Amino acid sequence: MQTSKMYEKSSVGELVTENYVFAAVLHYFGISFYQYPGDSLEKVCQKHKVNPRQLIAQVESWAKQQEPSLEELYLNPIELLVAYLKKKHYYFVRQELPFLSNLISGIGPEPGYEALQTDLRMMFPLFVEDFIHHIHEEESRLFKRIELLQDIEAGEFSTQDALVILEKDPIQYLADHHEIHDDEMLGIRKLTRDYSLEEHAPLTMKVLYHELQSFEKELAIHAKIEDELLFPKAVELEKEALRKIHKLIQTN
């Protein structure tokens, strides 16, 4: 394992080749790795007024991060599940998408990949726009709906108001119309031939393909959490709220 000093003396290109996480962390600190492939990390950090030890510590921290399993998430109450998904939305929008957009728009023409790079520059912004719309829609409708159901459970609405809320936009309707936003990623998969590259491909393209594939995997896991955990929990919450309201109506 390299010491901090060894990292600092290594070139950015060498560090990213050894560990692609460096590319994402450099972006986090405002540095595009592809602009300084031959420069030492120490030199690049000096140029951008970044403490190299902080940057290296961030790399090591990111490498150790582990996402909770579906089983662990299942054991959490619905409000913690929603909080987890909101946190992932924030991460996608504030970190993942800007990093990918930076790679796609910033990497210079690579011999043999010019046409693909042009297509990605056209395709990816459309995906980003659609994806952000999907997140806003999900948070304003589904997550808000879950909050309302919890408020009904807590008795914060009159019986009549609760009934009106429960009859509008039921969870099952939202579940049936839940879209997995994969169309553009499907196009990207075809464009990149399922992210396959020759061994001698440029480092920039290797990082880009790796990050696109990783992001697609994250989206698939995210959709699975929503479909297999969030929606079933929300449906049960709604059924229980309806049961209680109907019981109150019958009692009165």
Residues 49, 71 within the same domain: no
Residues 163, 188 within the same domain: yes
Question: Which of 45, 65, 85 corresponds to the end of one domain?
Answer: 65
> At a CB cut-off of 8 Å and minimum separation 6, what does 108 contact?
34
Closest listed residue to residue 137, CA positions, set 97, 174, 173, 176: 174
Candidate from 200-204, 225-229, 245-249 with smallest mean pLDDT: 245-249
Helices (H) and strands (E) in the chain, counts: 15, 0
What is the pTM (predicted TM-score) of this model? 0.90
Residues 3, 92 within the same domain: no
Residues 44, 107 within the same domain: no
| Beta-carbon-side half-sphere exposure of residue 114 (alpha carbons within 13 Å) | 3
CATH of the domain at 10: 1.10.3910
Residues 7, 97 within the same domain: no
- The distance in angstroms from the start CA to the end CA of the chain is 71
Closest listed residue to residue 183, CA positions, set 223, 142, 230, 143: 223
For 23-72, the pLDDT digits (tens) are 999 999 999 999 999 999 999 999 999 999 999 999 999 988 889 999 99
Residue 179's pLDDT is: 57
Question: Which of 65, 96, 112 corresponds to the end of one domain?
Answer: 65
73/61 Cα distance (integer angstroms): 22
Residues 162, 76 within the same domain: yes
142/170 Cα distance (integer angstroms): 10
Residues 135, 229 within the same domain: yes
Residues 175, 191 within the same domain: yes
Residues 42, 70 within the same domain: no
| Beta-carbon-side half-sphere exposure of residue 216 (alpha carbons within 13 Å) | 19
Residues 158, 200 within the same domain: yes
Residues 137, 33 within the same domain: no
For 135-170, the pLDDT digits (tens) are 998 999 899 999 999 988 888 888 888 888 888 878
The range of the structural domain enclosing residue 49 comes to 1-65
Question: Which of 65, 82, 115 corresponds to the end of one domain?
Answer: 65
107 neighbors 208 (Cβ within 8 angstroms): yes
Residue 182's pLDDT is: 45
104/118 Cα distance (integer angstroms): 9
Residues 148, 42 within the same domain: no
What is the band of 80 on the pLDDT scale with cuts at 50, 70, 90? very high
Domains held by the chain: number? 2
The whole-chain average pLDDT of the chain stands at 90
